[in-house]
Structure 1
């Protein structure tokens, strides 16, 4: 298992978290996602390393910005 953490800016509520979760969970190989508007963190686990650019693009599609923590 691989765990990867990102800082996400712009999230303010549960709806924001859900939007990010829906986009990131579409990435092949993602096993679980923990996203928090309160802390501005996105932590995902996967069987293999997930391309950072894919995660950043998914978060961007949800309307937010992410950087690898």
Structure 2
């Protein structure tokens, strides 16, 4: 399946502040649970063009800083 622009809305860039909230919240979740979510939702990430690896890097950076 490919994205149909008539059905799926345009993906908007995230606000810089959203990344801080994202890493703050998810840095509190055990990495094993986050990786389990990747397995569960990998097809959704692929279908809608999201990068789990980019978000995972932000989470790991938040864990290292926290």
Larger radius of gyration between Structure 1 and Structure 2: 2
Higher relative contact order (CA 8 A, sep 6+): 2
Larger fraction in helix:
2
Assess same fold via TM > 0.5. Answer: no
